[in-house]
Amino acid sequence: MIRQGDILLAEPFMTDSCFIKTAILITDYHPTGTVGFILNKPINMKLNDLVMNFPDFDAEVYFGGPVLTDTIHFLHNLGDLLENSRLVAKGVYWGGNFERLKFLIKSGLVASNQIRFYVGYSGWSPGQLEEEIESASWVISHNDPNYVFKSPSEQLWKKVMMDKGEIYAILSELPDNINFN
């Protein structure tokens, strides 16, 4: 059973180009639908390239998913320091007061390793994610705050698969295209 705060791992044979070898943090899980962010697809942009009047801040931006790619979202570990943020999982918060965030950054109170920015998000309509899990498109894993803020994105999918145990560790070693073997 999936819960808010869990990590969805694309099964190794997924062919959807948006989700190949992705790790997605589920930030909102309700009967009305599900929202999450792809944790391991950085894009070659900085936030200052996307948001006008944002303070200088060396933070990578990630592709959060194919839904509403004209929006910016953020995950952080600032907790109550950032009003209106929402606890997603232990040590991981979603959103908050954007003007306050800019002030905290200008004041030097936020480091780039405490926050991740996302363009768009991943979303599922009611029942859709459950159907995809039942058809073995996704593997469910528990979250660790280190996955979001400290794990190198290019190794995240493999790391979480390996952390799940033996069979998943074996699956994590499969090449991107098994036809080339």
Q: What CATH number is attached to the domain comprising 134?
A: 3.40.1740.10
**Residue 158 structural domain:** 7-180
Does residue 1 lie within any of the structural domains?
no
pLDDT, tens digit, 9 for 90 and up, residues 51-71? 999 999 988 899 999 999 999
Residue-wise pLDDT tens digits, 97-124: 999 999 999 999 999 999 999 999 999 9
Q: 106: helix, coil or strand?
A: helix
In a domain, 69, yes or no: yes
User: 6 CB contacts (<8 Å, ≥6 apart)?
Assistant: 25, 26, 29, 140, 141, 142, 143
Average pLDDT over the chain, rounded to an integer: 93
Which helix (H) or strand (E) segment holds residue 43: the answer is strand 42-46
In this prediction, residue 15 has a pLDDT band, given cuts at 50, 70 and 90, of: confident
Residue 181 has pLDDT above 80, yes or no: no
Q: How many domains does the chain have?
A: 1
Kind plus residue range of the DSSP H or E element containing 24: strand 23-30
- Of 155 and 176, more confident: 155
| 2 assigned to some structural domain | no
